[in-house]
Amino acid sequence: MTGDPTVLAAEPLPPAPRLDRAAIEQIVGSGRHLLVQGGMGIDASDGLAGKIAAHRGPRLVGVGTISAVVKTEAQLRAEIRRAKQESAGGYFGVNLMAAINKGDFERCARIAIEEQVSFLVQGAGISREIIRWCRDGGVPFVGIVSSGRLAAMYEKWGAEWLVAEGAEAGGHIGDIGHPLPSLVDEVVAATSLPVVAAGGVDASDVSRFLRQGAVGVQLATRFLACSDGDVHPAFKAMHVGKRPEDVVIITSCVKGMKARAVRNAFTDKLARGEAVPPRSKRWYFGPDGYEGRKSSCIQCLGEGLCKCRASGFKESFCITDALLLAAIEGDTENGLFYTGQSLLRIPERDVSELPSAAEILADLEAQLANDAAAAAAAPCGCAGDGTSREALA
């Protein structure tokens, strides 16, 4: 449920601070690291960016991310201005998937640049144009990478920092054979840019990835299961008390990419090879449709990238329907509940126990303080795993 555009400030708010390479070097130089909240479409991460961006703790600087996927102009501007209000001058950016319809991709990028967010981050495909738009508009560009080769390429193209996303991540996963610990080593070796580690991370891993040379970590799934995000309560409930057999890998309609989701009647249907064609989205976008597109298929993806549309709606499924049904309606039978492997590390057993975003951040701070204390107390001046006192100070 995106912020209500009717409560927007009439004038755009002041720019968010730029999160570029120099800003990150300054943060790291001051002994702190980045705690990035990963953007989650469609609308799954709404309401989170400003809350995470407001965090400026002793060891972590919070960084929020808004997902622009299938947002109307009014919805995206509302979510950005809401984050500006809630973050009180903190860092937050906008996530764009290169696989979406080219017109929407450019429209959303231009809105984010006009609103002067802290950075634009691109996932699920590569567009070089966005790097030029960002340079011209004075907004740092960030790439999501699944290999050292891509990291080196993005550095050459002008990215300011990178997110290395491993196989444990949620939603669409690229190279599902590349686990995060080895990916971080590969990416850090391939680039001089600051690298943020993402995919399956929880509080107990943060020190380890910082030791490997990351400037911070990105968490997404953990923030789905928090008390104050906008995502439907049923989505949160799908994230508690789960076992390994509750997590499945599906074939998405987006380029046939693999994706991780919570198992339910919908993923069972996909496993049986049943097609789920698009249905009307009037209930969500109203009679004017999505940016004027009123048919059941709103052509959310780039030309030729939707397996459902390419098959004349006889195969695969409509991803916009499935994700909206999950995030907005909380339809546990027909919705698609993307998740990450860290779903299995969520300790709470009931929605009523879920912590707020601020409490999750406080836990992360506490764990880092414990790790530093353990390193300081070790006779060799290092933690049991080799962490030096200086690295965790």
Ligand X SMILES: Cc1cc2nc3c(=O)[nH]c(=O)nc-3n(C[C@H](O)[C@H](O)[C@H](O)COP(=O)(O)O)c2cc1C
> Applying CB under 6 A, does 220 fall inside the site for ligand X?
yes
- Is the torsion defined by CA of 168, 162, 25, 68 positive or negative? negative
Indicate whether 95 belongs to the interface with ligand X (CB under 6 A). yes
Cα 324 → chain centroid: 16
At 177, is the secondary structure helix, strand, or coil? coil
SS in 3 state form for 246-278?
HEEEEECCECCCEEEEECCHHHHHHHCCCCECC
Supply the DSSP symbol for 117.
Answer: -
List the x/- string, 328-367, binding to ligand X by CB under 6 A.
----------xxx-x-------------------------
Non-local CB neighbours of 188 within 8 Å, separated by 6+ positions: 164, 195, 212, 213, 214
Interaction between residue 199 and ligand X (CB under 6 A): yes
Nearer to ligand X, 142 or 382 (CB): 142
Only one residue has tokens 């290169």, namely 98
Residues 25-54 that bind ligand X (CB under 6 A): 38-41, 44
CB of 211 to ligand X, least distance (A): 19
**Is the CB of residue 301 less than 8 Å from the CB of residue 98?**
no
218: contact with ligand X by CB under 6 A: yes
Token pair in block for residue 90: 């903190």
Q: Which of 152, 161, 110 is nearest to 132 (CA)?
A: 110
What Å distances lie between residue 370 and 39, 137, 377, CA to CA?
28, 42, 10
Identified binder of ligand X from the candidate list 64, 125, 200, 229, rule CB under 6 A: 200
Using the minimum distance from each CB to ligand X, give the nearer residue, 242 or 389: 242
Q: How many residues bind ligand X (CB under 6 A)?
A: 30
- Residue 111 host element (H or E): helix 102-114
* Residue 347: alpha-carbon gap to chain centroid: 21
Determine, following the binding rule CB under 6 A, whether residue 219 of this chain makes contact with ligand X. Answer: yes
Please report how close the Cβ of residue 226 comes to ligand X at its closest, in angstroms. Answer: 12
The least CB distance from residue 310 to ligand X, in Å, is: 21
* Shortest Å distance, C-beta 30 to ligand X: 25
Taking the alpha carbons at both ends of the chain, their separation in whole angstroms is 40
By C-beta, is 97 or 297 nearer to ligand X? Answer: 97
How far apart are CB 350 and ligand X at their closest, in Å? Answer: 20
Residues, the chain: 393
Is 264 one of the binding residues for ligand X (CB under 6 A)?
no
Q: Return the number of the residue (131 or 382) whose C-beta is nearest ligand X.
A: 131
Considering the complex, state which of residue 188 and residue 254 has its C-beta at the smaller distance from ligand X.
254
| 135-194 residues near ligand X, rule: CB under 6 A | 144, 165, 168-171
Q: Which is nearer to ligand X, 261 or 375 (CB)?
A: 261
Strands 258-262 and 216-219: unpaired
- Mask of contacts with ligand X, 51-70, x by CB under 6 A? ----------------x-x-
Which chain residues interact with ligand X by CB under 6 A? 38-41, 44, 67, 69, 95, 97, 123-124, 144, 165, 168-171, 198-201, 218-222, 338-340, 342
